[in-house]
Structure 1
Amino acid sequence: MNSEPSWDLYRTFHAVLREGSLSGAARRLDMSQPSIARHIDALETALGAKLFLRTPRGLSPTDAALELKPLAERLAATSAALRRTAEGGGGGGALSGTVRISASEVVAVEHLPPILARMRQAHPGLALELSPSNALDDLLQRKADVAVRMVRPEQQALVSRHVGALVIGLHAHRDYLARRGTPRTLADLKDHDLIGYDVETPAIRAAVQQYPALSRDAFALRVDSDVAQLAAIRAGFGIGICQAVVAARQPDLVRVLPDAFHMALETWIVMHEDLRGNARCRAVFDALVEGLSGIIESSAR
């Protein structure tokens, strides 16, 4: 390779990876399909490797492309972070620009909307991007500006604020309990329709060691989305785990075995220390601290 490929070529490569086709990447980048094809050809020539194979279902990435994928994703995240940082600056005046927030599914759906609505009303020039995911977005790689995390941040380059713990427990709809009865002990759960995880993670494995009745084989519905589990509980499918403060908002949801099953999700608001002086990121950070602290404090009363 005689020269370093342009960043534009890597951006096109990343778009084709995400969309699975030249036409999809063209729509995503607002470019023509022939231009996308020329970018991929140029990158393949520069790297000396074939990146995609044509199949009836679209473009299939080669092993070389898959090796490059995490680096391309990091480059795309860095590019987005550069744009967000340049948009708003850190000076005074009205806040403007974009702030990207990462949070778990339930927090993003059940807690953040009113907090973000108040932020938008107070700062009309502020655009907010919300990434609802149970995966930990890497703030060090700037995939998000501010994050709500349920694990203690270990990286020294992060600014964090502990806002308390969200209590989680077993819950069911009143209609389900009317049909099937209310369990009196954890052992009684074997006679009930349980809602739980599909893929076991280290955190889940630790919880199962403490509560063996909640092993994967015991579940009548297995799904890794916490929002889908919550929807199933609300629909009366069976007994599942959800945040007590969320369940309390719906009178038809009843907490089951509160003394026998009790866990807490310690909650932190986190951002990269380089953003400490960025006015809009700091404002979002402070708003999340205030909003989630209020939710946790009200649930403890």
Structure 2
Amino acid sequence: MNIHHLELFYFVAKHGGIAAAVRNIPYGIQQPAVSGQIAKLEESLGTKLFQRRPFALSPTGTELFEFIRPFFEKLDVLAERLRQNSSPQLRIAAPAIVLHDYLPQILQRVRAKFPAFRLYLHEATRTDAERLLLARDVDLAIMLLDKKSRAGIQVKPLLELPLILLVHKKSKLTRAGELWKRDKIEETLVCFSRSDPVHSYFQRGLDRLGVEWFCGIEVTSERLIQQYVASGYGIGLTVAVPGFKPPPQLRALSLSDFPPVVVGVAWSGKLSDIARQLLAELDTEAETQRARIGKTGSRSVATSFSRARP
């Protein structure tokens, strides 16, 4: 028997069907591929392992599932124990600018309690971070949160950040509200992909206003948004943070009536001691920033991501 076929069958049996299994398998695989691999497993065994609709394991399927379940369920526990037997490791996924400008200070505090550990940093979008978490390739991911997270992922909100528009300094626009009064917005919207929470929160705000304006240029970084707006390609959508200053050739327009985005931390499964320490440090930093902004009376929640958008 093929071990990969057994793994797929384990997920199908555990989650009660192929469609449910695909949603929970910790790596990308399509439903037809799972169906094909399961068919090969059944062919090699010469028997059906389950009824498709409604889902029900056959006696043979039940016997096989009970045999392989302890192995697959204990793999993560074994892997964690083997990792802890060596020097601790900390694997983090986050956008590049967070890894560059935000994380080093936090990791210094982690290092005070864990002087020696192996560090692995992954530059990742929210979608990539979720994939890495489910595959157990990272311990924690710092990312923007949306209303729903994938099954198997736990999230902890940390801070709220307001949305803003970036326009060229030569633009005649002085307020975002001027755009909403138009019959049609002609300028191209430069923003992150439609799957990104920034885009999702912005569209919810537009829906409440009864305005249609969709992304015309999709980019993968804040720097690209600024570059294309500065080059005259359109209006940029991004996130403002305390201390944010647009480049000299750009101006920022407030979107105070739009819902703020939420930056948080996510993980899957049981956290190691060092990962829990990082989570605690992130939470402490968030509390510090919330207290600071409370003293200033600002509407938005401050964050030490003051040099960049997560």
Structure with more of its chain in helix, by fraction: 1
Cα distance in 2 for partners of 1:249, 1:83 equals 45
Structure-1 residue corresponding to 2:207: 209
- Counterpart in the other structure of 2:281: 287
Amino acid at match of 2:208: Q
Aligned to 2:62: none
Is 1:232 matched up with 2:228? yes
Tell me the equivalent position of 1:241: 237
Determine the C-alpha separation between the residues in 2 that align with 1:143 and 1:119.
23
Residue 264 of structure 2 is aligned with which of 263, 268, 280?
268
Alpha-carbon deviation of 1:191? 5.1
What secondary structure does 1:190 align onto?
A: coil
Does residue 190 in structure 1 map to residue 180 in structure 2? no
Q: CA RMSD in A?
A: 4.7
Q: Deviations over 1:119-162 (max 9, x none)?
A: 57644423133241121615455343212351356689765433
Deviation by residue 1:215-237 (Cα, 9 ceiling, x = unmatched)? 22xx5x51152433354346664
8 Å Cα contact 2:165/2:238 also seen in 1: yes
Supply the distance in 2 between the matched residues of 1:157 and 1:230 (Cα, whole angstroms).
Answer: 35
User: 2:279 is paired with a residue of what secondary structure?
Assistant: helix
Q: 2:91 aligns with which of 100, 111, 116?
A: 100
- Number of residue equivalences: 222
TM (norm. structure 2) is 0.52
Give the structure 2 partner of residue 145 of structure 1: 139
Give, in whole Å, the separation in 2 of the partners of 1:190 and 1:145: 43
- Residue identity over aligned pairs, in percent, reads 14
Q: Which amino acid aligns with 1:288?
A: L
Q: Distance in 1 between matches of 2:225 and 2:77?
A: 33
Counterpart Cα distance in 2 of 1:200 and 1:126:
32
What is the CA–CA distance in structure 2 between the aligned matches of 1:132 and 1:246, rounded to whole Å?
23
User: How much has 1:274 moved relative to structure 2?
Assistant: 1.9
1:118 aligns with 2:111: no
- Per-residue Cα deviation, 1:66-107 (whole angstroms, up to 9, x for no partner): xxxxxxxxxxxx989965663235xxxxx943322234x376
Distance 2:270 2:106 in 1: 23
TM-score normalised over the length of structure 1:
0.53
SS of the aligned residue for 1:248 comes to coil
Structure 1 Cα separation of the partners of residues 105 and 191 of structure 2: 29
Q: Which ranges of structure 2 fall in alignment gaps of 5 or more residues?
A: 8-39, 45-73, 294-299, 303-310
Amino acid at match of 1:284: L
Q: Is the 8 A contact 1:165 1:267 kept in 2?
A: yes
Structure 1 unaligned segments of length 5 or more: list them.
11-44, 50-77, 90-94
